[in-house]
């Protein structure tokens, strides 16, 4: 599936080009941007669907996002699925980080992992945090990880 906007419009350009165009358009319009990248997943029967989002926040003026959905029949434990979500987010963050540096934008990677140890997803917290921070990216987990736990959650079918 190709990248798309929240309204469903397909992004025809390579995602790096589309992100750069968005950065230029928004900064030329006078907005100060921050970017958050996150992934969420949903398991239905034997299929797992992932939604990865690139969320652009306009300081005090809302935001918008680019969305990528993909599916697999690969079975995962909860911990494995959480780490696959993080890996998908890191892959996109790594692909785009030179743009964020070029335009001096803050970027965070958000993990849909609960910081409360009573939740199953918490088993992946240490590894996910180490992975993200080890790549040199800012890290947020629930409840601060809105890109994955709210934005991606809304667009995983």
Share in percent of the chain as helix, strand, coil (round to 5) = 40, 30, 25
Burial class (CB in 10 A: 0-12, 13-18, 19+), 59: exposed
The residues pairing with 122 across neighbouring beta strands, listed in sequence order, are: none
pTM of this prediction exceeds 0.85: yes
**Up-side HSE of residue 42: CA atoms within 13 Å toward CB?**
13
20-41 pLDDT, tens digit per residue, is: 999 999 999 999 999 999 999 9
- For 105, which DSSP code? -
90-101 pLDDT, tens digit per residue, is: 999 999 999 999
CB 151 within 8 A of CB 54: no
Q: What percent of the chain clears pLDDT 70, i.e. is strictly above it?
A: 99
């Amino acid at each position: 599936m190709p990248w798309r906007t929240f309204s469903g419009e397909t992004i025809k350009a390579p995602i790096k080009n589309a992100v750069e165009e968005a950065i230029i358009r928004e900064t030329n319009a006078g907005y100060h941007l921050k970017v958050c990248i996150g992934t969420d997943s949903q398991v239905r029967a034997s299929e797992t669907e992932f939604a990865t989002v690139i969320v652009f926040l306009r300081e005090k003026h809302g935001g918008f996002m680019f969305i990528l959905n993909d599916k697999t029949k690969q079975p995962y434990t909860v911990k494995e699925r959480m780490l696959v979500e993080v890996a998908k987010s890191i892959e996109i963050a790594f692909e785009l980080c030179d743009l964020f540096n070029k335009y001096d934008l803050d970027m965070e990677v958000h993990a849909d992992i609960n910081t409360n140890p009573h939740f199953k997803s918490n088993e992946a917290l240490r590894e996910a945090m180490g992975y993200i921070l080890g790549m040199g990216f800012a890290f947020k987990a629930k409840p601060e990880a809105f890109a994955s736990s709210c934005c991606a959650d809304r667009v995983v079918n």
